[in-house]
Amino acid sequence: MTEAPLLYSFRRCPYAMRARMALWVAGITVELREVKLAAKPPELITASPKGTVPVLVLPDGTVIDQSLAIMRWALAQSDPEGWLTSDDARLIAANDGPFKHHLDRAKYPGRYEEDGVTDHRAAALALLAPLEARLADAPWLCGETRTLTDIALFPFIRQFAAIDPDWFASQPLPRLQQWLGQLLTSDLFASIMPKFAPWRAGDTPVAFGTADARARTPRLAGT
């Protein structure tokens, strides 16, 4: 796998999820290095001093350490589903900015100084209303098929729904709930969620990608 890109990833990280989904759809096999966040390998820090995942290291040494940049790079190589035709920067910015802000504080109450001042769950929920309205016109956020925009938002909405699944299911978001359910039960999501042991230098390389899927039977999990 010396010619394959290296991907430092963490299975449950939403940023890493969307990067893996784009790489998988693009048909790009990578050498996957699963990271234990409490014990980050020095090779990750060397590649990207900020020390967050995902990080993609190309064979020529180029480092891409932002999830959206990894998605767009992968799809620029191959975009069989036409994901790049609908790359809605406004929706993605709202997700990665305000929605992520409230999501973190709803998911981890007490971690942030301003807790108790804002109802972060309600604030995050309010930001989903425009998505519900948008889905009234089409099954996906940008039209009749899933695109980069859907996949960029999906892991974060999944994370929000998982805080209290019964509560989320009771909210007046039937179209968004259906949208989320389609992605959660998709072959694509199952394919990028196998469990791997944290990588250490000297380990046998782990091939991860569409081309390698038939050669292994991964242990899948939905969380």
> Do 157 and 102 lie in a common domain?
yes
Give 160's Cβ-side CA count (13 Å radius): 29
CATH of the domain at 113: 1.20.1050.10
- Whether residues 49 and 117 share a domain: the answer is no
What is the C-alpha to C-alpha distance for residues 38 and 155, in angstroms, rounded to an integer? Answer: 21
Of the candidates 203, 207, 218, the residue with the CA atom closest to the CA atom of residue 41? 203
Same domain, 183 and 202: no
The more confidently predicted of residues 216 and 81 is 81
pLDDT number for residue 110 = 80
Domain annotation covers residue 15: yes
Give residue-wise pLDDT tens across range 79-121.
999 999 999 999 999 999 999 999 999 999 888 876 566 799 9
26, 79, 218 from 23: Cα distances, Å:
5, 10, 17
Express each pLDDT in 19-44 by its tens digit.
999 999 999 999 999 999 999 999 99
Phi, psi of 63 (to 5 degrees): -110, 130
pLDDT given for residue 3 in this prediction: 85
pLDDT band of residue 182 (cuts 50, 70, 90) is very high
**115-140 mean pLDDT:** 92
Instruction: Identify the pLDDT of residue 222.
Output: 31
Tell me the pLDDT of the chain averaged across its residues. 92
State the residue range of the domain holding 63: 6-79+192-215
What is the reported pLDDT for 210? 79
> Which residue has 């892991």 as its token pair?
155
